[in-house]
Amino acid sequence: MKRSGTADLPLHGGRVPQWLAERMTLLGTAIVEHIVLAYGPGEFLTRLSDPFWFQALGAVMGMDWHSSGITTSVMGALKRGLNPRFSELGFAVCGGRGRHSVRTPDELRAFGGRTGLNGDELARVSRLTARIDNNAIADGFQLYLHSFVIHRQGAGPWCSRA
């Protein structure tokens, strides 16, 4: 991916209102469904991994706060919307923030059991990614959100993290 600029996303406190979280779930799921049906699952993962596209997705979903809180709310909405539609779209979102982040390896092992992918290897990648994020950034903050977005076809262009 080419470098296209910088963005300053300040930390803000507070919670997303329930009505907004529900709308974000519905709209985010519809957007992902359209991208997957029109362009394939690989294109959704490519777009999801672009931080500027991700920020725009969050804004379109209704999260207009220009902060890091957009990551948590968008990933939560996608998890609530995509996981129940796994049989149709093939995506699972594992992990989340807080106590959900430490469950990511268990969710990935369960995903592996459902799909025939190597869940232990997925869990290992998850742990290594979290360790790198916590230590390489060295900004004094602990990782508070750890999500893993994966498609049932597994490796190659179908596997990504957010």
Q: Please tell me the predicted confidence (pLDDT) of residue 156.
A: 38
Residue 35 within a domain: yes
Residue 10 within a domain: no
Please give the model's pTM, rounded to 2 decimal places: 0.83
107 CB neighbour count, 10 Å cutoff: 23
DSSP letters, 121-133, are: HHHHHHHHHHHHH
The mean pLDDT value of the chain amounts to: 84
Residue 122 within a domain: yes
Instruction: Give how many domains the chain has, as a whole number.
Output: 1
Q: Which residue has the higher pLDDT, 61 or 130?
A: 61
pLDDT at 24 over 90: yes
Residue 3 within a domain: no
Residue 28 within a domain: yes
| Domain ranges, residue 74 | 18-161
Residue 123 within a domain: yes
* DSSP 3-state of 91: strand
Q: Please tell me the predicted confidence (pLDDT) of residue 52.
A: 87
Residue 4 within a domain: no
Residue 12 within a domain: no
Q: Which residue has the higher pLDDT, 141 or 58?
A: 58
